Amino acid sequence: MAEMASDHEIREKGLSILFKTLGEVDAIRFLSQITYEKRDYLKFQEDLFEGMIAEDIYSKAKEYFEKKMHKG
Protein backbone atom coordinates (compact mmCIF):
# COMPACT_ATOMS: atom_id res chain seq x y z
CA MET A 1 0.00 0.00 0.00
CA ALA A 2 1.30 3.48 -0.89
CA GLU A 3 2.17 5.85 1.92
CA MET A 4 -0.21 8.77 2.35
CA ALA A 5 1.29 12.15 1.48
CA SER A 6 1.33 14.84 4.15
CA ASP A 7 -0.77 17.98 3.78
CA HIS A 8 2.41 19.94 3.08
CA GLU A 9 3.42 17.56 0.28
CA ILE A 10 -0.03 17.73 -1.29
CA ARG A 11 -0.01 21.56 -1.23
CA GLU A 12 3.48 21.60 -2.70
CA LYS A 13 2.56 19.23 -5.55
CA GLY A 14 -0.74 20.99 -6.19
CA LEU A 15 0.86 24.42 -6.40
CA SER A 16 3.61 23.08 -8.64
CA ILE A 17 1.04 21.63 -11.04
CA LEU A 18 -1.02 24.82 -11.02
CA PHE A 19 1.97 27.03 -11.74
CA LYS A 20 3.28 24.73 -14.50
CA THR A 21 -0.13 24.38 -16.12
CA LEU A 22 -1.60 27.86 -15.74
CA GLY A 23 1.44 30.04 -15.28
CA GLU A 24 2.03 32.23 -12.26
CA VAL A 25 -0.55 34.93 -12.92
CA ASP A 26 -3.44 32.62 -13.78
CA ALA A 27 -2.56 30.22 -10.96
CA ILE A 28 -2.76 33.08 -8.47
CA ARG A 29 -6.04 34.25 -10.02
CA PHE A 30 -7.41 30.72 -9.69
CA LEU A 31 -6.32 30.42 -6.07
CA SER A 32 -7.89 33.77 -5.20
CA GLN A 33 -11.21 32.55 -6.58
CA ILE A 34 -11.30 29.42 -4.43
CA THR A 35 -9.79 30.86 -1.25
CA TYR A 36 -12.40 31.54 1.38
CA GLU A 37 -12.18 34.74 3.32
CA LYS A 38 -12.45 34.49 7.07
CA ARG A 39 -15.89 35.41 8.26
CA ASP A 40 -17.52 35.72 11.62
CA TYR A 41 -20.50 33.49 10.94
CA LEU A 42 -22.13 34.27 14.26
CA LYS A 43 -22.04 37.99 13.46
CA PHE A 44 -23.34 37.23 9.96
CA GLN A 45 -26.28 35.29 11.43
CA GLU A 46 -27.01 38.01 13.95
CA ASP A 47 -27.15 40.60 11.18
CA LEU A 48 -29.14 38.38 8.82
CA PHE A 49 -31.80 37.42 11.35
CA GLU A 50 -31.88 40.63 13.37
CA GLY A 51 -35.37 41.42 14.60
CA MET A 52 -36.77 38.10 13.39
CA ILE A 53 -38.40 35.41 15.46
CA ALA A 54 -38.24 31.68 14.71
CA GLU A 55 -41.54 31.78 12.82
CA ASP A 56 -40.19 34.53 10.53
CA ILE A 57 -37.08 32.52 9.75
CA TYR A 58 -39.17 29.40 9.10
CA SER A 59 -41.50 31.31 6.74
CA LYS A 60 -38.55 32.73 4.78
CA ALA A 61 -36.92 29.31 4.51
CA LYS A 62 -40.19 27.70 3.40
CA GLU A 63 -40.77 30.43 0.81
CA TYR A 64 -37.23 29.98 -0.55
CA PHE A 65 -37.61 26.20 -0.70
CA GLU A 66 -40.95 26.42 -2.52
CA LYS A 67 -39.57 28.88 -5.11
CA LYS A 68 -36.54 26.67 -5.68
CA MET A 69 -38.71 23.56 -6.13
CA HIS A 70 -40.88 25.28 -8.74
CA LYS A 71 -37.81 26.37 -10.78
CA GLY A 72 -36.34 22.86 -11.05
Q: In the chain, where are the structural domains located?
A: 1-35, 38-72
How far is 55 from 63, CA to CA, in rounded Å?
12
Task: Indicate the length of the chain as a whole number.
Answer: 72
- 3-28 pLDDT, tens digit per residue, is 888 989 998 999 999 999 998 888 88
Indicate if the pLDDT at residue 1 is higher than 80. no
Mean per-residue pLDDT, 39-66: 85
DSSP sequence for 13-39: HHHHHHHHHH-HHHHHHHHHHHPPPP-
Give the per-residue pLDDT at 17: 94
How far is 53 from 59, CA to CA, in rounded Å?
10
Indicate if the pLDDT at residue 54 is higher than 60. yes
